[in-house]
Structure 1
Amino acid sequence: METKVAIVTGAVNGIGRAIADRLVENNFTAVICDINQDEGQKLEEKSSDFEGEYRFKHCNVAREEDVARVVKGVIEEYGQIEALVNNAGIIKRRVGEEISISDWDQVFAVNTRGAFLFCKYLRPQFKEQKQGRIVNISSIAGKMGDITSAPGYGPSKAALDGMTKTFARDLAPYNVTVNGVAPHAIETDMSSEWSEEKRKRIISEIPLKRLGQPEDVAGAVSFLLSDAASFITGEIIDVNGGFLMD
């Protein structure tokens, strides 16, 4: 099978890493864009039992010059890009008036502007190819507001959801689909900050009575990138064990 190329942001660990792993298993070259250079280089050196491979590009998704450089370099190297997964995200846990403007701006810069920049700079390539897939990793907080004392996080993801639908309409004439995945209660570094009491409470509120794994999110992303999802665009798919059914 011909190896395809996908850019995945924030993918040296957690959900992003699970997505990158699944892409490599599906014969993609997974171009990892992350600020963690040491872990990114280790990942690039990781051997694979599949046709796909890991490639690392150092990138701060909030910096336009970084995104422009990475996209230009990947296009020059591979000629075509089949998929983009905007996964990079941060959270600042503050209560109400305690969140600073700089914290608010930083959350939006990574979670929303970073995804916008990659969509912006890849748009001409996708239009020229007349094919492509974009998946933005959102959150349940984008649909129902923050529930973890992080006032900027939910709004940044709500904006991401709106942007997903906007680009879905914009790129549909070029056979490019744009969708989102909204996880909740996934075992990641973010959830590791929870107290045991909070962990038990959250599990009790989930109909499937367990926390999700990064691989659960990767499965949804893999589906949206596949031919089986070619008639789906502008959707935000929940991966939350039934906590939110909409």
Structure 2
Amino acid sequence: MKGIHGRVAIVTGASAGIGYGIAHVFAREGAKVVAANRNVEAGERVAREIRDAGGEAIFVPADISVKADNEKVAAAALETYGAIDILVHNAGVFWEAMLEEITEEDWDRCHNLNLKGALFATQAVLPAMKQQGRGRILFTSSITGPKTGMPGFAHYGATKGGVNGFIRNAAVELAKFGITVNGVEPGNILTEGLAQLGEEYLSKMTRAIPMGKLGSPEDIAYAMAFFASDEAGWITGQTLCVDGGQTLPESGVAD
């Protein structure tokens, strides 16, 4: 199996959490990584770590909610590596806010990065992928919104439901160009962002997972690597739930 060896992969939100795991796993699998995010220090560190480990990577500072920044990332990928084979739109934000507390600014902030950024990132890579006659566009979705609901996450769940709708429609539109569009729906993954919700939340979520543990960024990264591979060339418009079985129990509690 060729996997993703030698492919050029843009990974947004690569500086931490799931995106950090995706960038490193893709590099270990032989991809040339273009890491994109707003935090310059963290982004440069990711690219440096990959290069120090023998991989290929560059960092491009970008706010993925801004159209021009996505175009800048695509241009850097083409200038450095001469192709764009894979886009992983992973950049996103989430925080807890009850319905009465959500402001218009909160709503726009969440949608601008999680959902509008999905459009802008896709538009930026399409010219290169269409010219090549192939491409893999991938999204980090979530179980929250598409499959489950949680108090305090209506703004976030709405964006991820939107991402899944975008995946299906974009897949139909882009299939004739040899471009597939898929996504991964993570369950509760132990990242810096999840940790900020507190030990009580982490304990509660762990009890709800049949496999008895929170996921890791690498669990999501390897699912992404399959969707990005040549071997997944006849799969499009799909999402894969990677949640340790969390959405399976009827009672919502694994034990």
Q: Same fold (TM over 0.5)?
A: yes
Residue aligning to 2:30: 27
The answer as to 2:159 corresponding to 1:143 is no
CA distance in structure 2 between the partners assigned to 1:122 and 1:36 by the alignment: 22
1:115 to partner: Cα distance: 1.4
The SS at the match of 2:109 is helix
Aligned residues of 2:148 and 2:247 also touching (Cα < 8 A): no
1:71 to partner: Cα distance: 1.4
Structure 2 unpaired stretches of 5+: 249-255
What is the CA RMSD across the aligned residues, in angstroms? 1.6
Stretch deviating more after TM superposition (192-201 or 131-140): 192-201
Aligned residues of 1:92 and 1:103 also touching (Cα < 8 A): no
Structure 2 counterparts to residues 93-108 of structure 1, below 5 A:
93-108=96-111
The answer as to 2:93 corresponding to 1:90 is yes
CA distance in structure 2 between the partners assigned to 1:103 and 1:219 by the alignment: 32
Greater relative CO, 1 or 2 (CA 8 Å, sep 6+): 2
Query: 4+ residue runs of structure 1 moved beyond 4 angstroms?
Result: none
The answer as to 2:119 corresponding to 1:125 is no
CA distance in structure 1 between the partners assigned to 2:197 and 2:103 by the alignment: 22
Q: Percent identity, aligned pairs only?
A: 34
CA distance in structure 1 between the partners assigned to 2:35 and 2:210 by the alignment: 34
TM-score (norm 2): 0.90
Describe the superposition over 1:73-132 as per-residue Cα deviations: whole angstroms up to 9, x where unpaired: 322332211100000000132111110001100100000111110111211211111111
Structure 1 unpaired stretches of 5+: none
1:214 maps to which of 205, 212, 217: 217
CA distance in structure 1 between the partners assigned to 2:45 and 2:244 by the alignment: 33
The answer as to 2:93 corresponding to 1:73 is no
2:173 maps to which of 164, 170, 175: 170
Residue aligning to 2:158: 155
TM-score (norm 1): 0.94
The SS at the match of 1:16 is helix
The SS at the match of 1:187 is coil
What letter corresponds to residue 58 of structure 1 in structure 2? P
Query: Number of matched residues?
Result: 244
The SS at the match of 1:159 is helix
